[in-house]
């Protein structure tokens, strides 16, 4: 039988050749999955023999990965903001950069709930996660608010135009015990009519320009294209949401939108054209690249 160390060396070489950015790590995660052990256990015992069944399973997963399939789809989950979220082709793989959107949204919710006295009979603060996909943003927010013990003071609506994505989002909400804190709605951006407006709208909508997507790494071809394709300039779907914000937000309400690293100036121009008089501020990510656009409806 082949040892774990030998299999890892062979797999690392194959993954490096296929273009993986972290070939050794991916090889370790896939072999740990095949063996049903933690990665740390695998690293502690590279001399351990790998049985035929585990080796076959590892080989099958390795073939999927070298063909370009995202590691998160093969493993069936992705870590996001401290949560293990189910992932499959029904929704995009949650990206680390989107965690910033969750953090900003959490701070904004807390600020609005605690920054000024709220009458005891005040309705819950309304939050919309537009284009929820796997539910990463909505589920993470619901879990964070539960930890702060302010969950009942907030209503979260998660919308998507893909019934399959909504099903995945519901599964993640159930898995983390927050399904009762989120309303899932099939809608093109936002439901019509909106009903009671929202204090906060967050969205990670498609923002990759179509021609860039055509030249993107093969891994993106496994993910739902409609959740990535932002049209000719990458901002077509975001522009449609901007047009809906006057009806969707209360006076003083805030929208926080994820954007591409090269779209900072473009989103400011777009906001000025579509929402004249609305302040628009772009926030950078940890790498200093434009990542979030904040648009506030004037009071």
Residue 208 pLDDT > 90: yes
pLDDT value for 297: 97
Distance of alpha carbon 56 from alpha carbon 71, whole angstroms: 17
Distance of alpha carbon 104 from alpha carbon 294, whole angstroms: 10
Q: Do residues 30 and 49 lie in contact, with contact meaning Cβ atoms separated by under 8 Å? A: no
Contacts of 87 (CB under 8 A, 6+ apart): 70, 72, 73, 75, 76, 77, 78, 93, 94, 134
Report whether the peptide linkage leading into residue 12 is cis, meaning its omega lies within 30 degrees of zero. Answer: no
Distance of alpha carbon 249 from alpha carbon 264, whole angstroms: 22
pLDDT tens sequence across 86-120:
999 999 999 999 999 999 999 999 999 998 777 77
Rounded average pLDDT over 178-201:
95
pLDDT value for 146: 97
Angstrom CA distances, 112 to 127, 189, 204, stand at 12, 24, 22
Same fold? 4-67, 89-296 = no
Q: Do residues 189 and 240 lie in contact, with contact meaning Cβ atoms separated by under 8 Å? A: yes
In degrees rounded to 5, what are phi and psi of residue 73?
A: -70, -35
Output DSSP code: residue 225.
Answer: G
pLDDT value for 174: 98
Residues in the chain: 299
Q: What's the mean per-residue pLDDT of the chain?
A: 96
Q: To 10 degrees, the CA torsion angle through 126, 131, 137, 138?
A: 40
Q: Do residues 128 and 200 lie in contact, with contact meaning Cβ atoms separated by under 8 Å? A: yes
- Quick one: pLDDT band at residue 1, thresholds 50, 70, 90? confident
Output DSSP code: residue 227.
Answer: G
Nearest to 128 by CA among 180, 239, 204, 179: 204
For 187-248, list the strands marked E by DSSP. Answer: 198-203
Distance of alpha carbon 105 from alpha carbon 101, whole angstroms: 6
CATH topology of domain 89-296: Rossmann fold (3.40.50)
pLDDT value for 69: 96
DSSP SS3 for 29: helix
Please state whether 90 falls in left (phi above 0), alpha (psi between -120 and 50) or beta: alpha
Residue 72 pLDDT > 90: yes
> How are strands ordered across the β-sheet holding 154-160?
182-186, 154-160, 125-130, 198-203, 249-258, 290-296, 280-284
Nearest to 242 by CA among 284, 277, 208: 277
Residue 177 pLDDT > 90: yes
Q: Where are the domains of the chain?
A: 4-67, 89-296
- pTM attached to this predicted model: 0.94
Q: What is the DSSP string of 201-215?
A: EEE----B-HHHHHT
Lookup: tokens for 299: 């009071």
CATH topology of domain 4-67: Helicase, Ruva Protein; domain 3 (1.10.8)
């Amino acid at each position: 039988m082949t040892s774990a160390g030998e299999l890892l060396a062979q797999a690392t070489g194959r993954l490096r050749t296929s273009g993986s950015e972290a070939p050794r790590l991916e090889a370790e995660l896939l072999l740990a999955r095949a063996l049903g052990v933690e990665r740390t256990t695998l690293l502690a015992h590279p001399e351990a023999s790998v049985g035929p069944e585990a080796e076959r399973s590892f080989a099958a997963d390795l073939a999927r990965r070298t063909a370009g399939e995202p590691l998160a789809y093969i493993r069936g989950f992705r870590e996001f903001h401290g949560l293990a979220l189910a992932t499959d082709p029904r929704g995009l793989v949650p990206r680390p950069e989107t965690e910033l959107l969750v953090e900003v949204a959490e701070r904004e919710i807390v600020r609005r709930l605690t920054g000024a006295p709220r009458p005891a009979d005040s309705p819950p603060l309304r939050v919309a996660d537009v284009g929820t996909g796997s539910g990463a943003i909505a589920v993470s927010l619901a879990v964070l608010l539960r930890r702060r013990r302010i969950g009942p003071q907030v209503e979260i609506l998660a919308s998507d135009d893909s019934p399959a994505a909504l099903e995945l989002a519901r599964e993640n909400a159930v898995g983390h015990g927050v399904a009762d804190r989120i309303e899932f709605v099939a809608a093109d951006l936002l439901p019509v009519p909106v009903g009671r407006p929202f204090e906060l709208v967050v969205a990670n909508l498609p923002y990759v320009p179509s021609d860039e997507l055509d030249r993107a790494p093969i891994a993106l071809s496994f993910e739902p294209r409609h959740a990535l394709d932002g049209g000719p300039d990458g901002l077509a779907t975001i522009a449609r949401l901007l047009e809906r914000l006057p009806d969707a937000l209360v006076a003083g309400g805030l929208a926080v939108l994820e954007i591409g690293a090269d779209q900072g100036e473009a989103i400011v121009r777009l906001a000025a054209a579509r929402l004249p008089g609305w302040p628009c501020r772009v926030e950078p990510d940890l790498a200093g690249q434009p990542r979030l656009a904040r648009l506030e409806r004037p009071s």
